[in-house]
């Protein structure tokens, strides 16, 4: 089975702090994604990566950056957290050929 | 652009009732369509998918048929159980290659609660 791991399930930060969320997948997938989930809005794509050190902006990249130094690991960075970034963050990975994305359990971030 | 519209929730049913969650889409190409489910406290899991018109996806008693003429992919189950209580997301991805990289466009999600 594909496993996508987000080790932090809950995180509380203060406004202006740096936030680092990590995602690890164990299936050698080329493509990885970061989404945020908000009630009534579904999931919105923040950034994605199609290879090591390669990244593309999604629909809502403002206030976020990403890093992909190794194929299995895709990190989401909030350089200076703001209260409007309080949300559930979901990571996903996908084989470059297949259509199915596999999701991690999510990290619920609260910015005070 | 691409978009997915789901029926608004929440949906509350009694056990063994019939379920329909409507999903319609707009897409610039030829999408694959998906239903994902999110159980409380968990990430999203693929429930079923269909990759071309008239395909029917099915899993765990749930079904959805890809209707190109009505641009719809409605989710149905004949008899729901309490364990089906979850949030259901309809989504699409374009099949074309290039720079799409399989990005998913999601609907807003529908909360389903099933009572005993």
Q: Which residue has better confidence, B98 or A112?
A: A112
At which residue do the structure tokens 């989930």 appear? A37
Residue A23: beta bridge partners? A74
Say if residue A24's pLDDT is above 70: yes
Which of A44, A56, A90 shows the shortest C-beta gap to B43? A90
pLDDT at residue A112 is higher than 60: yes
pLDDT (tens digit, 9 = 90+) per residue, B3-40? 999 988 899 999 999 999 999 999 987 899 999 999 98
> What does the pLDDT look like over A61-71, one tens digit per residue?
999 999 999 99
Chain A contacts in chain B segment 6-25 (CB below 8 A): none
Task: Tell me which of B103 and B48 has the higher pLDDT.
Answer: B48
Residues of B in contact with A33 (CB under 8 A): 103-104
pLDDT, position B28: 82
Say yes or no to pLDDT of B100 above 80.
no
Q: How far is A42 from chain B (nearest CA, A)?
A: 4
Q: What is the pLDDT of residues A54-91, one digit of tens each?
A: 999 999 999 999 999 999 999 999 999 999 999 999 99
Q: Give the model confidence (pLDDT) of B62-92 as tens digits.
A: 999 999 999 999 999 999 999 999 999 999 9
Q: In angstroms, how far is the first alpha carbon of chain B from the final one?
A: 41
Task: For residue B10, give the chain A residue with the closest CA.
Answer: A40
DSSP H/E element including B27: none
B31: closest CA among B82, B71, B74, B89?
Answer: B71
Counting Cα atoms < 13 Å in the Cβ hemisphere of B25 gives 29
Strand partners of residue A57: A47
Give residues with Cβ within 8 angstroms of A1, minimum separation 6: none
Which residue among B46, B101, B108 places its CB closest to the CB of A31? B101
Q: Residue A23 burial by CB count (10 A; 0-12/13-18/19+): exposed, middle or buried?
A: buried
- The pLDDT value given to residue B102: 74
Rounded distance between C-alpha atoms, residue B85 and residue B82, angstroms: 6
Q: CA-CA distance, B91 to A97, in Å (whole number)?
A: 18
């Amino acid at each position: 089975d594909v496993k996508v791991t987000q080790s932090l399930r809950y995180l509380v930060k203060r406004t202006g702090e740096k936030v680092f969320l990590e995602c690890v997948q164990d299936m050698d997938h080329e493509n990885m994604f970061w989404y945020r989930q908000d009630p009534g809005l579904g999931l919105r794509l923040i950034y994605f990566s199609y290879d090591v050190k390669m990244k593309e902006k999604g629909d809502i990249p403002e206030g976020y950056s990403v890093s992909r130094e190794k194929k299995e690991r895709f990190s989401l960075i909030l350089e200076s957290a703001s209260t409007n970034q309080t949300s559930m963050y979901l990571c996903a990975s996908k084989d470059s050929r297949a259509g199915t994305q596999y999701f991690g359990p999510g990290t619920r971030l609260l910015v005070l | 652009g691409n978009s997915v519209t789901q029926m608004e929730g929440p949906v509350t049913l009694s056990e063994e009732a019939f379920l329909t969650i409507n999903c319609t889409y707009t897409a610039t190409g030829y999408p694959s369509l998906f239903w994902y489910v999110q159980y409380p406290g968990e990430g999203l899991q693929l429930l079923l998918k269909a990759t071309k018109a008239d395909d029917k996806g099915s899993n765990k008693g749930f079904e959805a048929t890809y209707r190109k003429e009505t641009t719809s992919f409605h989710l149905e189950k004949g008899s729901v159980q309490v364990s089906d209580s979850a949030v259901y997301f309809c989504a699409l991805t374009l099949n074309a290659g290039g720079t799409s990289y399989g990005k998913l466009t999601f609907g807003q999600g529908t909360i389903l609660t099933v009572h005993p």
